[in-house]
Chain A
């Protein structure tokens, strides 16, 4: 059973470009979470999705950021018109049900660098 898969592992974008980060949850998991980790900081919750639904996006910036988890395929975190401040590690986690009482499994992360 493959773990949570994120790609790419490293992504370099110039200011103003778009970044697309992909996350394939563990088999059988229908709940996906995105977190952002800045250097020397903790994991900041961004968005929680189930298949075809955004459940909680309270941690996601209102502009330039969007997320989806389609019926088929991976979850996508999309950042439009990237700025230097978007440089961070973005982690995806999945769980078989909501994390009210179950473990969330993390992917290896995508390290985004904006130059």
Chain B
């Protein structure tokens, strides 16, 4: 069935280091790939997204890359800060109607100062 796999499940970095989270998806028809950040006890919030006609997108310290052939996409956070600590979820559009978002299981990022 439709599936999104996300790695690693936990990631610990020192402040100032880079963090990379990777996801693969199963449906070759997927065309929208958002990343959400969820702080403890709060709602998921979109941090960046990419569509299938683009290979890379950057927004300040955050970038996302997409390889449609290999069906994988990655989140890159540079110069990490303690406030980047949260759970990050990747997602891909798929489903019966082709428009539901299917999420990975999340990556808990811890940035220590």
Contact B46 A103 (CB under 8 A): yes
Contacts of B6 in A (CB 8 A): 42
Closest residue of chain A to B102 (Cβ to Cβ) is A45
Closest residue of chain B to A103 (Cβ to Cβ) is B46
Contact B95 A56 (CB under 8 A): yes
Contact B105 A100 (CB under 8 A): no
Chain A interface residue bracket vs B:
20 to 34
- How many residues from B make CB contacts under 8 Å with A? 27
Given contacts A33-B100, A45-B100, A91-B43, contact A99 B49 (CB under 8 A): no
CB distance from B11 to the nearest CB of A (A): 15
Given contacts A99-B100, A103-B49, contact A45 B95 (CB under 8 A): yes
Contact B43 A106 (CB under 8 A): yes
Closest residue of chain A to B52 (Cβ to Cβ) is A101
Q: Digitize A65-89: 1 where CB-to-B-CB distance is under 8 Å, 0 elsewhere.
A: 0000000000000000000000000
Contacts of A25 in B (CB 8 A): none
Closest residue of chain B to A108 (Cβ to Cβ) is B43
Chain B interface, >50% SS class: strand
Judged by a CB distance under 8 angstroms, whether A43 is at the interface is yes
Considering the chains assembled together, what is the distance between the CA atoms of A93 and B96 in angstroms? Answer: 18
Closest residue of chain A to B105 (Cβ to Cβ) is A42
CB distance from B1 to the nearest CB of A (A): 8
Contact B99 A103 (CB under 8 A): no
Given contacts A48-B95, A48-B97, contact A100 B102 (CB under 8 A): no
Considering the chains assembled together, what is the distance between the CA atoms of A93 and B99 in angstroms? Answer: 13
CB distance from A8 to the nearest CB of B (A): 15
Considering the chains assembled together, what is the distance between the CA atoms of A100 and B53 in angstroms? Answer: 13
Q: B residues touching A (Cβ–Cβ < 8 Å)?
A: 6, 31-32, 34, 36, 42-46, 49, 51, 89, 91, 93, 95-106
6 A-B Cβ contacts within 8 A? A42-B106, A48-B99, A98-B98, A100-B99, A101-B51, A104-B46
